Amino acid sequence: MLRIEHGRKLYKGNLVLDDINLTFKEGNIYGLVGINGSGKTLILKALAGYIKLDEGAVYQDDKKIRQYHNYIEDAGVLIENPEFIAHLTLLQNLELLRSISPKARDIDLAFWLDVYHLHQFSQTAFKHLSLGTKKKLGLIQALMHHPKILILDEPMNALDDRSVEQTKKLLLDVSKNGLVILSSHLKTDIEDLCDEVVHVAEGKIV
């Protein structure tokens, strides 16, 4: 279980998160929906430990997470645009990820290239990949070590229809024994996938 209690965040004197209270339980997929700038990405960053709340706290299984670079355990995270080493190829970036992640060292990279039909781009430098292909690489990075918690910001954005359906299948598989939290600016992109949809506007749950 993951939850945020009375989360508040200020940015340049403005209140960008206002008393956020949310609980996320295993076995479910949750969607945060709101327009750009609504605060949904900030909520994901707070849950993942990427930002520090000015008030409130995040808990994992009732254990308070000391925020900012004290990340939640056993999680896969993709927030905003994925960043990899620009001059390395797609495959080299995956090989590097596999080498530094203990839980991913036995992963068959060919499987993930098959999942997202990326074999033809395996020798292309990251900097030359399309936005959609970069997004697929980011999703693989989040999924490849079989996390129990997934936190994904706009995971369907820039994906082709086939990849959207494949991603939904992968997220449903994770949710069988884990927890998935994702965001979208379009409810229609995720409502058929989510067990619960939360609407965010102006830093508040509405």
Question: Per-residue confidence of the chain (206 residues) as pLDDT tens digits?
Answer: 999 999 999 999 999 999 999 999 999 999 999 999 999 999 999 999 889 999 999 999 988 886 555 567 789 999 988 889 999 999 999 999 999 887 788 889 999 999 999 999 999 999 999 999 999 999 999 999 889 999 999 999 999 999 999 999 999 999 999 999 999 999 999 999 999 999 999 999 99
3-state secondary structure of 68: coil
Range of the domain at 26: 1-74+186-206
3-state secondary structure of 98: helix
Q: Is residue 6 part of a domain?
A: yes
Q: Is residue 104 part of a domain?
A: no
3-state secondary structure of 119: helix
DSSP string covering 9-43: EEETTEEEEEEEEEEE-TTEEEEEE--TTSSHHHH
Q: Is residue 20 part of a domain?
A: yes
Q: Is residue 22 part of a domain?
A: yes
Cβ-contact 25, 1 below 8 angstroms: yes
Distance separating alpha carbons of residues 197 and 206, to the nearest angstrom:
11
Q: Could you tell me the CATH number of the domain that includes residue 195?
A: 3.40.50.300
Q: Is residue 48 part of a domain?
A: yes
Distance separating alpha carbons of residues 1 and 99, to the nearest angstrom:
29
Q: Is residue 114 part of a domain?
A: no
Q: Per the structure, how many domains does the chain have?
A: 1
Cβ-contact 95, 140 below 8 angstroms: no
Q: Is residue 105 part of a domain?
A: no
Distance separating alpha carbons of residues 181 and 46, to the nearest angstrom:
12
Which of 102, 101, 85 shows the shortest CA–CA distance to 93?
85
Q: Is residue 158 part of a domain?
A: no
Q: Please identify which residue in the block is written with the tokens 């409810």.
A: 187
Distance of CA 4 to the CA centre of its chain: 16
Cβ-contact 70, 48 below 8 angstroms: no
Distance separating alpha carbons of residues 23 and 10, to the nearest angstrom:
22
This prediction has a pTM of: 0.94
Tell me the one-letter amino acid at 48: A
